[in-house]
Structure formats: structure tokens, C-alpha cells
């Protein structure tokens, strides 16, 4: 009989995988669809607004989601009390974020039309933030299926609505409103499920000002790390929008959005294992180290094939996805550079490991250095080289990130990969890389080879001694 915890982890993995998979398919389909049917400057506006909202929402989320998952995973009795207090703090932070965002749009010189789109996407991310707080409680108590329940209808409705609006040639204001309404629906469903699990919380009973202040202090390290991460992953796009027009932003975003779509499986793996590791870290170094080598091997066996495929087939890939927008296809060199950058960023996910160890200070130190490097390079390279300068800034920044994380990883003596993985992983990578280079004229053969590479690697990882089915959950 399988261990009950293994069953729980498997159930959560499937539920969260389906939830994130649906969200990925919905968002990827929407952005690839509008990337083909919108003029490139309008595509630049709507993706810029999405990026602006993604940056500013850190002032609302403030690391509360990660804090909630970690603390609830350790003590489920605090779920309602923490949710009520964090919810109140996030309401206040939302109002301040809206005011600050208006000031920033004036400083950046956005037109009033672009500002309207920006504020619609701010509402989209605010509703997403509050829904994420509620779903964080589901993850903390290991009920990932409730997040799946809350995701299905909003994501499907968004896809259908965007397709219908595009067919009638609706403007980007209408498209942006569709995004907002989908996340409002997500919040309503998540709130309903929260009430089903915990009842309607008596706010006066649970609201505690001193607890709210304590939660802000505890979430601050998560918020700082998150803010620094957003600086070196997103702010470069805002700098690009300052020095270049919406058309250039749209061309860059065509490749950048593809990278977002390419790494969604890795985010699923990290999010599924985060509450498990947070709860089990103190139970034994051997179990933790086995889990780390397992996750590192699993992630690397996904990110290496995917980024190799994108790097080798960047032109064919953009031509296939954006078949009606030759401007975006013309930026295939940017996609190749971004593939190398994201390979450095995700393989292996050291920042996630440090969080589970309670070493947010390491993430802060590395993130601060990388943010300074990223901002400096963007202000130097973007005015001279435009979109290519932004891509180079990403690549160099992520190289610095990888060096910094590796330094602390070695210093803490946390194992990276098992010896058995290195024995078969390197020859496997060489064989499949040569096959991808040889067959690069046929995109569908390349897709088949990449999937075969991933499944073969995952098969060997699951059979390894550090696999979850062995030591990890005993």
C-alpha cells in the first residue's frame, strides 16, 4: 500500500497541475491569439499593461501568499485568523498601489489611452491577488483540488470571450475588460470555496491590529525578494517602453510571452513541493537533501530540453505561432537570447530551495545584486540597441543570478544533483542535442524529439534513489 502522504502529494500534483495547466493554456491561447489579430502597437500596449500590473501588484501581495502557505502548512488552526488579517492589509495596500501607479504613468509619459489599459490590468491583478490569498490557504492545508475548482470557469470564459471579441474586431479596452471580469469571477468562486471550508469568518473576532503588523514584518523578507525578482525580470520592459515605442515593445513581448508559456511546468513543480518542504524541512537533513536532488534533477530534465528546442528553432517557432504578424517573427534572435537567459534562471531552482530552508536573506542578497546589474545594463544598452539591448541585459543578469545562487548553495553544502543523475544525464543531453541540431529543419520532428528527451529524463529521475516514491515520504 502506498504511503498516505505519497497519495496526498500525488493528488495535489494532479490537481495543481490541471489548475496551472488550464491557466497556462488559457493565457497562452489568449496572448498568442491577440498577437496574431491585433496590430503590433496595440499588442505592445496590452502586454505592457500586463507587465506594469505584474510589477505593481507586489505592493499588494507583499509576500503574504508565500507566508500564508508556509505558516498554514505548519499549523492549520491559524488559517482563518491569518486570512482575515492579511485580507484587510491587502485592501489598504491596494488603494495605495492604485495612487502610486497613476503617478508612475505620468512620469513614464504614457498616453491617457495606454493609462486606461494599465489601470484595467491593475484591477485584473488585484482580483488575482485576493484570489491567490484564498487559494494559498487551500495549498497550506493540502487541498489543491479547491484551487482547480476555482480556476476552470474563469479561464474558460476568458478564452471564449477573447475569441468572440476578436472576431467582431473589438478594441483593446473591451479585451482588457474581459481580463478583469475573468479574475473577478475567480475571486468570487475562490471566496465561495473558502466559506465552504471554513464558514463565514467573524471579522471582529479575528481582526487584530498587532497581528496584522506582525504579519507585515514577517512577510517583508518575502516582499523584498519578490520586489527584487520583479526588478530583474520585469522592469526592463518598462525601461524599454520609455525609450522605444509600442511597436518595439510588442515585438519584444511576442518572444517574452513565449518564454512565460514555456516554463509553466516548472512553476507547477516548485509550487507543489513548496508546502511539503516547508513542513518537512526540520524533520531531517537526509530527507530534505534527497528531495532537493530529486527536484533539481526533475526541473533540469525539463528546462534543458525546452530551452534547447527554443534556441535551435526560434525562427520556426515564432513563424508557427505568430503566422499573421511578421513583425514579431522578425525578432527571432531575441527569442534565442531569452532561451539562454531562462535556462540560467530556472536550472536548478535554488531560490525556491533557500525559501524552504528559511534563508530568505540569501535570496535578498542575490536579488539586490542582480537587480542593480539589470537596471544598470538596461539603462546603458536599451537606449543604444533597443530590444536587443533589453535581451542582453536579461542574459547577463541571469548569469550573475546563477553564479550568486551557486556560491551560497555550495557554501551551505546542499547537494545539487545525485551521482547517478550525472552518470546518465550528461550522455542523454548530448545525444538529444545532436538530434535536435540534425533535424532542425522540421519543427514537428523537433517537438517529438524534445518530448521524448523530457519523458526519458523524467523516467530515469523517478527511478532514482532520491525519487519521491522512495526515501522522501517514508
User: Is the domain of 183 the same as that of 279?
Assistant: no
Q: Are 59 and 129 in contact (CB under 8 A)?
A: no
Q: Does the pLDDT of residue 1 top 50, yes or no?
A: no
380 belongs to a structural domain: yes
User: Is the domain of 200 the same as that of 284?
Assistant: no
Q: Does the pLDDT of residue 2 top 60, yes or no?
A: no
Q: Give, in order, the Cα–Cα distances in Å from 311 to each of 243, 250, 315, 334, 337.
A: 27, 20, 9, 10, 8
Angle formed at CA 158 by CA 157 and CA 162, multiple of 5 degrees: 115
234 belongs to a structural domain: no
* pLDDT at residue number 468: 46
**What average pLDDT score do residues 58-82 get?**
81
User: Is the domain of 330 the same as that of 465?
Assistant: yes
Q: What percent of the chain has pLDDT over 90?
A: 11
User: Is the domain of 343 the same as that of 457?
Assistant: yes
Comparison of pLDDT for 283 and 292, the residue scoring more? 292
Instruction: State pLDDT tens for residues 290-300.
Output: 777 777 777 78
418 belongs to a structural domain: yes
Return the DSSP state at 169.
T
Q: Does the pLDDT of residue 3 top 70, yes or no?
A: no
Q: Are 84 and 207 in contact (CB under 8 A)?
A: yes
Return the DSSP state at 330.
T
Environment class of 441 (CB within 10 Å of its CB; exposed 0-12, middle 13-18, buried 19+): exposed
Q: Does the pLDDT of residue 150 top 60, yes or no?
A: yes
348 cis-preceded (ω within 30 degrees of 0) = yes
Q: Are 293 and 418 in contact (CB under 8 A)?
A: yes
User: Is the domain of 163 the same as that of 16?
Assistant: yes
User: Is the domain of 294 the same as that of 437?
Assistant: yes
User: Is the domain of 352 the same as that of 466?
Assistant: yes
Comparison of pLDDT for 150 and 216, the residue scoring more? 216
User: Is the domain of 386 the same as that of 312?
Assistant: yes
Cell of 304: 534543458
Q: Does the pLDDT of residue 6 top 50, yes or no?
A: no
Model pTM score: 0.71
Return the DSSP state at 467.
S
156 belongs to a structural domain: yes
Task: Round to whole Å and give the CA distance between 302 and 262.
Answer: 10
Task: Round to whole Å and give the CA distance between 182 and 159.
Answer: 10
* pLDDT at residue number 470: 41
Mean pLDDT for all residues in the chain:
79
Q: Does the pLDDT of residue 463 top 80, yes or no?
A: no
228 belongs to a structural domain: no
* pLDDT at residue number 116: 92
Residue where a domain terminates, one of 161, 181, 207: 207
* pLDDT at residue number 281: 59
Task: Round to whole Å and give the CA distance between 430 and 452.
Answer: 14
User: Is the domain of 283 the same as that of 138?
Assistant: no
Task: Round to whole Å and give the CA distance between 474 and 96.
Answer: 47
Return the DSSP state at 235.
I
**What average pLDDT score do residues 462-466 get?**
61
User: Is the domain of 202 the same as that of 282?
Assistant: no
Q: Are 471 and 465 in contact (CB under 8 A)?
A: yes
Residue where a domain terminates, one of 207, 238, 264: 207
* pLDDT at residue number 233: 77
98-112 burial code (b ≥16 CB/10 A, e <16): beebeebbeebebee
Q: Which of 52-61, 239-248, 273-282, 337-346 has the lowest mean pLDDT?
A: 273-282
* pLDDT at residue number 377: 92
Q: Does the pLDDT of residue 102 top 80, yes or no?
A: yes
- pLDDT band at residue 460 under the 50/70/90 scheme: confident
46 belongs to a structural domain: yes
Comparison of pLDDT for 251 and 28, the residue scoring more? 251
* pLDDT at residue number 13: 54
Count the residues in the chain.
474
**What average pLDDT score do residues 30-54 get?**
81
Q: Does the pLDDT of residue 431 top 70, yes or no?
A: yes
DSSP codes, 28-43: HHHHHHHHHHS-HHHH
Task: Round to whole Å and give the CA distance between 253 and 52.
Answer: 13
Comparison of pLDDT for 96 and 466, the residue scoring more? 96
Task: Round to whole Å and give the CA distance between 468 and 297.
Answer: 12
Q: Are 421 and 461 in contact (CB under 8 A)?
A: yes
Environment class of 168 (CB within 10 Å of its CB; exposed 0-12, middle 13-18, buried 19+): exposed
* pLDDT at residue number 305: 87
Q: Does the pLDDT of residue 387 top 80, yes or no?
A: yes
Highest mean pLDDT among 165-179, 279-293, 362-376, 386-400: 386-400
- With the CA atoms of 445, 446, 451 and 457 taken in that order, what torsion angle do they form, in degrees rounded to the nearest 10? 120
User: Is the domain of 50 the same as that of 164?
Assistant: yes
* pLDDT at residue number 274: 59
222 belongs to a structural domain: no
Task: Round to whole Å and give the CA distance between 25 and 23.
Answer: 6
Q: Could you give the number of structural domains in the chain?
A: 2
DSSP codes, 242-291: HHS-HHHHHHHHHHHHHHHHHTHHHHHHHHHHHHHHHHHGGG-HHHHHHH
Q: Are 471 and 461 in contact (CB under 8 A)?
A: no
Element housing 110 (H / E): none
Instruction: State pLDDT tens for residues 167-226.
Output: 777 788 888 898 899 889 989 998 888 888 888 877 778 788 888 888 888 888 778 777
Structural domain including 283 reads: 272-474
Comparison of pLDDT for 385 and 443, the residue scoring more? 385
Q: Are 471 and 290 in contact (CB under 8 A)?
A: yes
User: Is the domain of 413 the same as that of 334?
Assistant: yes
Comparison of pLDDT for 15 and 459, the residue scoring more? 459
Element housing 413 (H / E): none
Q: Are 361 and 221 in contact (CB under 8 A)?
A: yes
* pLDDT at residue number 358: 67
212 belongs to a structural domain: no
Residue where a domain terminates, one of 178, 207, 236: 207
Q: Does the pLDDT of residue 466 top 80, yes or no?
A: no
Task: Round to whole Å and give the CA distance between 367 and 375.
Answer: 12
Amino acid at each position: 500500500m502506498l504511503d498516505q502522504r505519497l497519495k496526498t502529494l500525488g493528488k495535489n500534483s494532479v490537481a495543481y497541475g490541471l489548475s496551472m495547466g488550464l491557466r497556462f493554456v488559457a493565457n497562452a491561447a489568449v496572448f498568442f491569439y491577440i498577437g496574431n489579430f491585433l496590430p503590433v502597437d496595440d499588442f505592445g500596449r496590452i502586454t505592457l499593461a500586463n507587465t506594469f500590473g505584474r510589477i505593481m501588484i507586489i505592493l499588494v501581495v507583499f509576500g503574504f501568499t508565500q507566508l500564508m502557505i508556509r505558516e498554514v502548512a505548519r499549523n492549520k488552526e491559524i488559517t482563518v485568523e491569518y486570512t482575515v488579517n492579511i485580507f484587510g492589509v491587502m485592501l489598504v495596500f491596494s488603494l495605495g498601489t492604485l495612487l502610486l501607479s497613476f503617478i508612475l504613468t505620468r512620469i513614464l509619459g504614457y498616453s491617457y489611452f495606454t493609462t486606461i489599459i494599465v489601470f484595467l490590468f491593475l484591477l485584473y491583478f488585484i482580483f488575482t491577488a485576493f484570489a491567490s490569498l484564498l487559494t494559498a490557504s487551500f495549498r497550506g492545508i493540502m487541498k489543491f483540488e479547491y484551487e482547480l475548482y476555482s480556476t476552470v470557469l474563469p479561464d474558460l470564459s476568458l478564452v471564449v470571450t477573447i475569441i468572440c471579441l476578436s472576431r467582431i474586431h473589438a478594441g483593446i479596452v473591451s479585451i482588457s475588460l474581459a481580463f478583469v471580469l475573468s479574475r473577478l469571477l475567480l475571486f468570487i468562486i475562490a471566496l465561495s470555496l473558502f466559506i465552504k471550508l471554513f464558514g463565514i469568518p467573524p471579522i471582529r473576532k479575528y481582526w487584530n491590529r498587532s497581528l496584522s503588523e506582525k504579519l507585515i514584518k514577517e512577510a517583508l523578507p518575502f516582499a523584498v525578494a519578490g520586489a527584487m525578482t520583479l526588478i530583474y525580470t520585469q522592469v526592463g520592459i518598462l525601461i524599454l517602453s520609455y525609450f522605444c515605442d509600442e511597436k518595439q515593445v510588442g515585438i519584444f513581448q511576442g518572444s517574452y510571452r513565449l518564454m512565460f508559456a514555456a516554463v509553466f511546468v516548472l512553476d507547477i513543480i516548485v509550487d507543489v513541493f513548496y508546502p511539503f518542504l516547508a513542513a518537512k524541512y526540520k524533520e531531517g537533513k537526509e530527507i530534505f537533501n534527497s528531495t532537493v536532488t530529486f527536484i533539481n534533477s526533475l526541473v533540469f530534465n525539463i528546462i534543458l530540453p525546452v530551452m534547447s528546442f527554443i534556441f535551435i528553432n526560434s525562427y520556426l517557432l515564432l513563424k508557427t505561432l505568430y503566422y499573421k504578424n511578421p513583425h514579431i517573427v522578425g525578432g527571432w534572435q531575441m527569442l534565442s537570447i531569452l532561451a539562454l537567459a531562462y535556462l540560467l534562471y530556472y536550472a536548478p531552482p535554488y531560490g525556491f530551495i533557500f525559501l524552504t530552508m528559511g534563508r530568505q536573506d540569501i535570496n535578498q542578497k542575490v536579488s539586490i545584486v542582480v537587480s542593480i546589474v539589470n537596471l544598470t545594463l538596461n539603462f546603458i544598452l536599451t537606449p543604444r540597441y533597443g530590444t536587443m539591448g533589453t535581451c542582453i541585459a536579461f542574459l547577463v543578469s541571469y548569469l550573475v543570478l546563477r553564479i550568486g545562487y551557486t556560491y551560497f548553495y555550495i557554501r551551505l553544502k546542499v547537494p545539487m544533483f545525485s551521482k547517478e543523475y550525472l552518470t546518465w544525464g550528461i550522455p542523454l543531453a548530448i545525444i538529444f542535442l545532436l538530434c535536435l541540431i540534425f533535424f532542425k529543419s522540421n519543427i514537428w520532428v523537433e517537438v517529438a524529439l524534445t518530448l521524448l528527451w523530457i519523458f526519458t529524463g523524467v523516467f530515469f529521475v523517478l527511478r532514482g534513489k532520491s525519487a519521491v516514491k522512495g526515501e522522501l515520504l517514508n
